[in-house]
Amino acid sequence: MPLPLVIPIIAVAAAALAGTAIFAAIPKIWKILDKNTVAILGAPQTGKTALIRLLRDVDAPDDGLPSAVSGEDRGRFRLEVKDKAVDFAVPRDLPGSDGLNVAEWKDAFDDADHVWYLFRADLVAQDDAATVQLLRTHFALLRKWLSAKPGSGPKILLVGTWADEHSDYARHASRVAEKVMKAGVIKIGSVQLGGSPVVVGSLATSRDADRLLKGIKSRLQ
């Protein structure tokens, strides 16, 4: 290869490596800049990306929030917590997990000040066996990671979504929420995770999403 071509190729390769390193470092940089980094975890189709969209755009249309949004919708947001504006950041829109393939979760957990774990409230209320088992698996992982960071682990919030899919939700939303919170897997999981608070609701419409967001804010410390 002629010498003049070698230098540009090396330069491009170095730039690519540098870009990769910078991209990988973004969560770490955000951790330094923000004292309230949030990791949003949960099984597939529990509303993780829709929640990120809500946090960045509370003026969503009344016909509901989309089930997925672009990666550009991850980022920073501000919430009024106890009459004070608090800045938060979600550095990564993490994939859902049906089991133990959660390597990205572990990295996000270690970098986070807050972990919001989303689950299907309607299926918990129906005592769906597969959902209960998956929650137990995920809670065991979170408990393991939390025990490895005594006194410095993230604050964990359990967020039940899709409550609107329960047949009683339209008439008795509070009754459905109470049933979810009293479910054995949620009560035990909350205790095992250091008394994690629980909020139950829906992201089906902007009105439901606003109520869920208010519940989240009321349980932030």
- State pLDDT tens for residues 54-83: 887 754 444 444 444 444 444 688 888 877
- Return all residues near 124 (Cβ < 8 A) that are at least 6 apart: 131, 132, 135, 160, 180, 183, 185, 186
Provide φ and ψ at 123, rounded to 5°. -75, -35
Determine contact, residues 163/176, Cβ cutoff 8 Å.
Answer: yes
Question: Which is more confidently placed, 112 or 17?
Answer: 112
Give yes or no for residue 10 having a pLDDT over 60.
no
- pLDDT band for position 95 (cuts 50, 70, 90): confident
Give yes or no for residue 18 having a pLDDT over 80.
no
Report strand pairing: 75-81 vs 84-90.
antiparallel
Average pLDDT over residues 170-188: 96
Read off the pTM. 0.78
Q: What is the pLDDT of residue 151?
A: 87
Fold of the domain spanning 36-218: Rossmann fold (3.40.50)
- pLDDT band for position 129 (cuts 50, 70, 90): very high
Residue spans of the domains in the chain: they are 1-33, 36-218
Question: Which is more confidently placed, 90 or 193?
Answer: 193
- pLDDT band for position 221 (cuts 50, 70, 90): low
Count CB-CB contacts under 10 A for residue 217.
14
DSSP 154: P
- pLDDT band for position 155 (cuts 50, 70, 90): very high
Q: What is the pLDDT of residue 33?
A: 43
